[in-house]
């Protein structure tokens, strides 16, 4: 699940390269840096792996969300469609941009559904923030078609789906622009870090400029650079980029291990007819960082959670988790912010109090998730799977 399981000599080596020159800044200082460019190298390797023209690293997945919205020109008066099941960062980013986040229903892919998206499109819809949750993909082809039909910009937040593919094409390459996170809990980690990718030259130019106070990054004299736009500082340091680079080179190993470990558990669970797995539009393209399934009803779900607590199975119940699901976000519902936003507070609280997402609520209330470790000793994984199967069987018998 997190790349932190694999920290080793490779990460140390990349970091030491940087410390030996002392140039922790990603730009300029050509004479002193001994040709050590960790952020730039990462961007080249990441773009090549994704088969895209451009990658730009930044300080976090949250700032990557922010950059994609800025590059797409999202701001005051716009609406952006978002999912109710997500890490909250992309929603905060939409609010900060001045636009209104508009929630739509998810389906059994755990991502926004094509019908859910279509139902909330208005003339103000500027972009769709599609979040590929828990390691795998939304119904991406249908969603791309909807965005094209309605002239909506598609931003893919692939922070949780690094390395995932749909019919062989990388998740993150279907939309106009995509974002990734390398925070401490992600599949590859730099402690903190993020990136955006795009094939669009204009979106790329705006992204790297916005993330560095509008600097155009032309020439070798930072002081003499032009500033076509205003921006902010979302730069990544060379130290973080160095760790990300070593981690990224381990991605094939990570994916292989996660897929192997997940299939061991899934094969055993498959024998229980009462549960239904998360729908994967392309099973082979799952990055396998999580295994998610739906229990038949809330009663059996609660029973399973009780057993999980007793036996320390570590099952995740996102329905009650207070930073992944809308139901628990009182600060968002009340728009509790440090400063006033462009969005009208009374209108927002009214919108939130009337918002109903029955399909999402039903799915979330029955959904159980397991984090798949990268290094899971064989003598531990099979007993865990057996315990889990036993617990699920006992739980479904409560109601069946
Ligand atoms: C983790 C995450 C982010 C934010 O990334 P940070 O690097 O923690 O800022 C954004 N979107 C999704 C879907 C995430 O899971």
Q: What spacing in Å lies between the alpha carbon of 143 and ligand 1's midpoint? A: 21
User: What pLDDT, on a 0 to 100 scale, did the predictor assign at position 322?
Assistant: 79
Same domain, 28 and 133: yes
- Under-50 pLDDT residues of the chain: none
With a 6 A CB cut-off, is 237 part of the ligand 1 pocket?
no
User: What pLDDT, on a 0 to 100 scale, did the predictor assign at position 378?
Assistant: 87
3-state helix, strand, coil in the chain (%, to 5): 45, 15, 40
User: What pLDDT, on a 0 to 100 scale, did the predictor assign at position 45?
Assistant: 98
Which of 224, 250, 276 marks a domain boundary? 250
Q: What spacing in Å lies between the alpha carbon of 397 and ligand 1's midpoint? A: 37
Domain count across the chain: 2
Is residue 107 a contact partner of residue 116, using CB atoms and an 8 Å limit?
yes
Which of 226, 250, 274 marks a domain boundary? 250
DSSP β-bridge partners for residue 291: 370
Contacts of residue 219, defined as CB under 8 A and 6 or more positions apart, other chains included, come to: 225
* Rg, Å, the chain Cα set: 22
DSSP β-bridge partners for residue 61: none
Atom of ligand 1 nearest to the CA of 181: 7
Bridging pattern class, strands 100-103 and 153-157: unpaired
Contacts of residue 35, defined as CB under 8 A and 6 or more positions apart, other chains included, come to: none
**From CA 88, how far away is CA 355, in angstroms rounded?**
17
Same domain, 210 and 270: no
With a 6 A CB cut-off, is 61 part of the ligand 1 pocket?
yes
Same domain, 115 and 154: yes
Q: What spacing in Å lies between the alpha carbon of 180 and ligand 1's midpoint? A: 7
User: What pLDDT, on a 0 to 100 scale, did the predictor assign at position 3?
Assistant: 84
With a 6 A CB cut-off, is 181 part of the ligand 1 pocket?
yes
Supply the CATH number for residue 351's domain: 3.90.1150.10
Same domain, 228 and 276: no
DSSP β-bridge partners for residue 85: 325
Domain that holds residue 12: 3-250
Same domain, 158 and 256: no
Which structure tokens are listed for 294?
């739906």
Contacts of residue 18, defined as CB under 8 A and 6 or more positions apart, other chains included, come to: 24, 36, 38, 238, 239, 242
Same domain, 339 and 395: yes
Same domain, 233 and 299: no
With a 6 A CB cut-off, is 285 part of the ligand 1 pocket?
no
Q: Which residue has the tokens 């992944």?
A: 324
pLDDT digits (tens, 9 = 90+) for 262-276: 999 999 999 999 999
Helices 9-21 and 238-248 cross at an angle (nearest 10°) of 150
Bridging pattern class, strands 54-58 and 100-103: unpaired
With a 6 A CB cut-off, is 66 part of the ligand 1 pocket?
no
Same domain, 241 and 267: no
Q: What spacing in Å lies between the alpha carbon of 161 and ligand 1's midpoint? A: 11
The average confidence (pLDDT) of the chain is 96
pLDDT digits (tens, 9 = 90+) for 307-357: 999 999 999 999 998 789 999 999 999 999 999 999 999 999 999 999 999
Task: Give, as one character, the DSSP assignment of residue 279.
Answer: P
Same domain, 169 and 268: no
Same domain, 69 and 203: yes
Assign 361 to helix, strand or coil: helix
* Cα 69-326-102 angle, rounded to 5 deg: 45
User: What pLDDT, on a 0 to 100 scale, did the predictor assign at position 2?
Assistant: 83
Supply the CATH number for residue 168's domain: 3.40.640.10
**From CA 18, how far away is CA 34, in angstroms rounded?**
9
User: What pLDDT, on a 0 to 100 scale, did the predictor assign at position 399?
Assistant: 60
Bridging pattern class, strands 165-166 and 169-170: antiparallel
Same domain, 271 and 168: no
Same domain, 212 and 309: no
């Amino acid at each position: 699940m997190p790349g932190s399981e694999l920290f080793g000599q490779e990460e140390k080596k990349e970091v030491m390269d940087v410390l030996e020159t002392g140039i922790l800044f990603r730009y300029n200082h050509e004479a002193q840096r001994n040709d050590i460019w960790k952020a730039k190298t990462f961007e080249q390797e990441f773009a090549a792996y994704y088969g895209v023209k451009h990658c730009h690293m930044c300080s976090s997945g949250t700032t990557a969300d922010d950059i994609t919205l800025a590059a797409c020109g999202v701001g005051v008066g716009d609406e952006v469609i978002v999912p109710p099941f997500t890490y909250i960062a992309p929603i905060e980013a939409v609010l900060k941009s001045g636009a209104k986040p508009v929630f739509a229903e998810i389906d059994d892919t755990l991502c926004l559904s094509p019908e859910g998206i279509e139902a909330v499109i208005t003339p103000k819809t500027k972009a769709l923030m599609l979040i590929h949750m828990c390691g795998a993909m939304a119904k991406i082809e249908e969603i791309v078609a909807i965005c094209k039909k309605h002239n909506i910009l598609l931003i893919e937040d692939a922070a949780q789906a690094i390395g995932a593919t749909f019919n062989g094409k990388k998740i993150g390459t279907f939309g106009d622009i995509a974002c990734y996170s390398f925070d401490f809990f992600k599949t590859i980690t730099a402690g903190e870090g993020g990136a955006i990718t795009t094939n669009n030259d204009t979106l790329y130019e705006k992204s790297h400029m916005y993330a560095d106070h509008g600097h155009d990054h032309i020439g070798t004299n930072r002081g003499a650079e032009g500033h076509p736009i205003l921006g902010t500082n979302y730069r990544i340091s060379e130290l973080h980029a160095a760790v990300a680079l070593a981690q990224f080179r381990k991605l094939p190993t990570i994916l292989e291990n996660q897929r192997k470990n997940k299939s061991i558990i899934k094969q055993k669970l498959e024998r229980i007819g009462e549960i239904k797995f998360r729908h994967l539009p392309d099973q082979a393209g799952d990055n396998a960082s999580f295994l998610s399934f739906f229990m038949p009803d809330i009663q059996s779900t609660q029973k399973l959670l009780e057993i999980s607590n007793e036996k320390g199975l570590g099952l995740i119940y996102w329905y009650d988790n207070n930073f992944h699901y809308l139901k628990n976000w009182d600060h968002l519902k009340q728009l509790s912010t440090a400063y006033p936003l462009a969005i009208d507070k009374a209108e927002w609280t009214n919108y939130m109090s009337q918002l109903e997402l029955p399909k999402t609520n039903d799915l979330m209330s029955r959904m159980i998730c397991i984090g798949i470790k990268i290094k899971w000793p064989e003598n531990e994984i099979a007993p865990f799977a057996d315990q889990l199967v036993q617990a699920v069987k006992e739980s479904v018998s409560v109601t069946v």
